[in-house]
Chain A
């Protein structure tokens, strides 16, 4: 998705486009780094921390569900796995959760590889349902296991840094993970691995017949999509100080993740980021106005329907296609008369029909 237009702009002498993009990313990074020093505002800082968390979730989700087309509704389970792993180890070893976050990542990725081995034999709706079931099984296990302290939850050690810094270190940690997630997603997209995942999404049997080892690819994608989510779970647990099964293994977080990516654009690198920056503030607004979490579910459900109906490809691919069509028309006008043998130049319609089936 958005690939042709990328290729197109590159072909159209777009070295400047790439440089512009790099400049924008660099500027955003500087802004993000300076923000908490310039603006001492707890409300905004909290919102940014949670937005970065959602960026980690949605960029990760995008690898397995956007690129490979295996839609998971249980992705927040890996947030919980990371959180509980880090919390339990921090309590046992008396170490900072920040130091233990990589182990949270490892736990999430290993678990994803194991369950992926089983679940990814199923496709489409069956896979979606299994991921939901997995989320609730994880919730049940944490509720009932003795070592997780069940429904009483776990209380993590308090931060050791000076009070003056408040939540700023959490922000930097989460922002770092968000940046890494986007980096991972962009890197995957550029590799042979990423191309194989797109092929699996488009036509898995065909990909296998062409020589793509689909089993290894899918399981690797699932593990890659949960690795940084696990780390973020550790940081999130530290930030919350108190975690419990219902809060961490939460379907709403999964729904937010899916919504963010659908809104921004599945299968693109920046769509999930854009989506997170819209969905998380919306969710804060809903919090202040409605409070109760059931309202959340309704709100997100309604939003999801709007996106599916009116922006089925998400914001970024839709924009990219508009620009691409404009470019094409201009190019066609410029060299009028040149034979163009493509079936449907500049017609988005037929293509859209095709891809709706391909995603499920």
Chain B
């Protein structure tokens, strides 16, 4: 991470992602409540908050797995709410899940080459594991250290390896922004270090990240900008250090 990227003023410039007045209720629970924030271009942004504060729900709304009750979502300045999930992915979004979700009965390589970059009938008829995506998948698996498990069923990987495979899956279409939901949860410390290293590497190569994480040292280490969510809305934002000493944040974690 370079320092030129870091100043909060960057926020005024290009935002890779912007969320405006996003709302989502589940029955009586306002899981996301008038939530607005921007993810600065070129950043690794942290999204933290107590359990149940709506972090995963925000991810589900951004990726289109849930329909918002109101609000707008803009990726690189263009509205994406209203698009189906795959079109958002084609626009440059990627994500991983809080609990790794894989295609367990497919091989590790197949897990990565599954998506299309866009929709054309002709592409549906192409050989499954071939071409540019095959090369890209091979390269990614090499980098996350799973290349030798290419032909194994994904369900046979250890949990940490599954998390790494999910990272490779999220990156295969060369997204502009990847949403990581607790990349370090359930992963042993050595693997967490590896994960952080990979995130930094891919960030240097031009992918921005929005990271939900409870592991504070990791957030401090990885992120140049942090958003704090409580009760479904952003209560604080700024550099990791500033946020950590914000009274509203302490209040939310202790009271909440």
Residues of A within 8 A of B (CB): 1, 3-4, 7-8, 11, 190-196, 198-199, 202-203, 205-217, 220, 341-345, 351, 354-355, 358
Q: Given A211-B116, A213-B86, A342-B158, does the pair A195, B110 have CB atoms closer than 8 Å?
A: yes
Task: Tell me, in angstroms, the Cα distance from A202 to B114 when the chains sit together.
Answer: 12
Distance in Å: Cβ of B103 to nearest Cβ of chain A: 4
B127 contacts the other chain (CB 8 A): yes
Task: Tell me, in angstroms, the Cα distance from A192 to B133 when the chains sit together.
Answer: 11
Task: Tell me, in angstroms, the Cα distance from A210 to B94 when the chains sit together.
Answer: 7
Residues of A within 8 A of B124 (CB): 191-193, 196, 217, 220
B63 contacts the other chain (CB 8 A): yes
| CB <8 Å contact, B89 and A210 | yes
Residues of A within 8 A of B87 (CB): 213
Nearest residue (CB) in A for B112 is A210
Residues of B within 8 A of A (CB): 63-65, 84-87, 89-90, 95, 97, 101-107, 110, 113-117, 119, 123-129, 149, 151-153, 155-158, 161, 169-170, 172-173
Nearest residue (CB) in A for B87 is A213
Q: Given A192-B125, A193-B124, does the pair A208, B85 have CB atoms closer than 8 Å?
A: yes
Residues of A within 8 A of B102 (CB): 202-203, 206
| CB <8 Å contact, B125 and A191 | yes
| CB <8 Å contact, B156 and A344 | yes
| CB <8 Å contact, B104 and A354 | yes
| CB <8 Å contact, B117 and A211 | yes
Residues of B within 8 A of A203 (CB): 101-103
Nearest residue (CB) in A for B166 is A206
Our pick among A194, A202, A216 for the contact of B104 (Cβ within 8 Å) is A202
Residues of B within 8 A of A215 (CB): 84
| CB <8 Å contact, A343 and B116 | no
Task: Tell me, in angstroms, the Cα distance from A334 to B156 when the chains sit together.
Answer: 21
Task: Tell me, in angstroms, the Cα distance from A88 to B128 when the chains sit together.
Answer: 40
Residues of A within 8 A of B101 (CB): 203, 205-206
Q: Given A11-B151, A344-B156, does the pair A216, B105 have CB atoms closer than 8 Å?
A: no
Task: Tell me, in angstroms, the Cα distance from A157 to B128 when the chains sit together.
Answer: 45
Nearest residue (CB) in A for B124 is A193
Residues of B within 8 A of A355 (CB): 104-105, 155
Our pick among A3, A11, A217, A343 for the contact of B106 (Cβ within 8 Å) is A3
Q: Given A195-B128, A202-B106, A210-B89, does the pair A343, B151 have CB atoms closer than 8 Å?
A: no
Distance in Å: Cβ of B117 to nearest Cβ of chain A: 7
Nearest residue (CB) in A for B133 is A192
Distance in Å: Cβ of A343 to nearest Cβ of chain B: 5
10 pairs of residues in contact across A and B, judged by CB atoms under 8 Å: A7-B107, A191-B125, A192-B116, A205-B85, A206-B103, A207-B115, A211-B116, A212-B114, A342-B157, A355-B105
Residues of A within 8 A of B103 (CB): 198-199, 202-203, 206-207
Task: Tell me, in angstroms, the Cα distance from A206 to B157 when the chains sit together.
Answer: 18
| CB <8 Å contact, B151 and A196 | no
Residues of A within 8 A of B65 (CB): 205, 208-209
| CB <8 Å contact, B156 and A3 | no
Task: Tell me, in angstroms, the Cα distance from A78 to B71 when the chains sit together.
Answer: 44
Task: Tell me, in angstroms, the Cα distance from A333 to B225 when the chains sit together.
Answer: 52
Task: Tell me, in angstroms, the Cα distance from A195 to B114 when the chains sit together.
Answer: 6
| CB <8 Å contact, B85 and A209 | yes
Task: Tell me, in angstroms, the Cα distance from A351 to B105 when the chains sit together.
Answer: 8
Distance in Å: Cβ of A116 to nearest Cβ of chain B: 16
| CB <8 Å contact, A208 and B86 | yes
| CB <8 Å contact, A1 and B105 | yes
Task: Tell me, in angstroms, the Cα distance from A345 to B155 when the chains sit together.
Answer: 11
Q: Given A192-B125, A195-B114, does the pair A209, B89 have CB atoms closer than 8 Å?
A: yes
Residues of B within 8 A of A210 (CB): 86, 89, 114-115, 169-170, 172
Nearest residue (CB) in B for A346 is B156
Distance in Å: Cβ of B200 to nearest Cβ of chain A: 23
Q: Given A4-B151, A202-B105, does the pair A345, B116 have CB atoms closer than 8 Å?
A: no
Distance in Å: Cβ of A196 to nearest Cβ of chain B: 6
Distance in Å: Cβ of A109 to nearest Cβ of chain B: 15
Task: Tell me, in angstroms, the Cα distance from A7 to B126 when the chains sit together.
Answer: 18
Task: Tell me, in angstroms, the Cα distance from A217 to B151 when the chains sit together.
Answer: 25
Task: Tell me, in angstroms, the Cα distance from A11 to B158 when the chains sit together.
Answer: 22
Residues of A within 8 A of B110 (CB): 3, 195, 198
> In this complex, which of A195, A210, A343 has the most chain B Cβ atoms within 10 angstroms of its Cβ?
A210
| CB <8 Å contact, A198 and B157 | no
Distance in Å: Cβ of B163 to nearest Cβ of chain A: 13
| CB <8 Å contact, A343 and B156 | yes
Residues of A within 8 A of B104 (CB): 202, 351, 354-355, 358
Our pick among A191, A205, A213 for the contact of B119 (Cβ within 8 Å) is A213
Task: Tell me, in angstroms, the Cα distance from A190 to B125 when the chains sit together.
Answer: 9
Task: Tell me, in angstroms, the Cα distance from A296 to B46 when the chains sit together.
Answer: 62
Task: Tell me, in angstroms, the Cα distance from A211 to B170 when the chains sit together.
Answer: 10
Residues of A within 8 A of B123 (CB): 192
Residues of B within 8 A of A11 (CB): 151
Task: Tell me, in angstroms, the Cα distance from A203 to B105 when the chains sit together.
Answer: 10
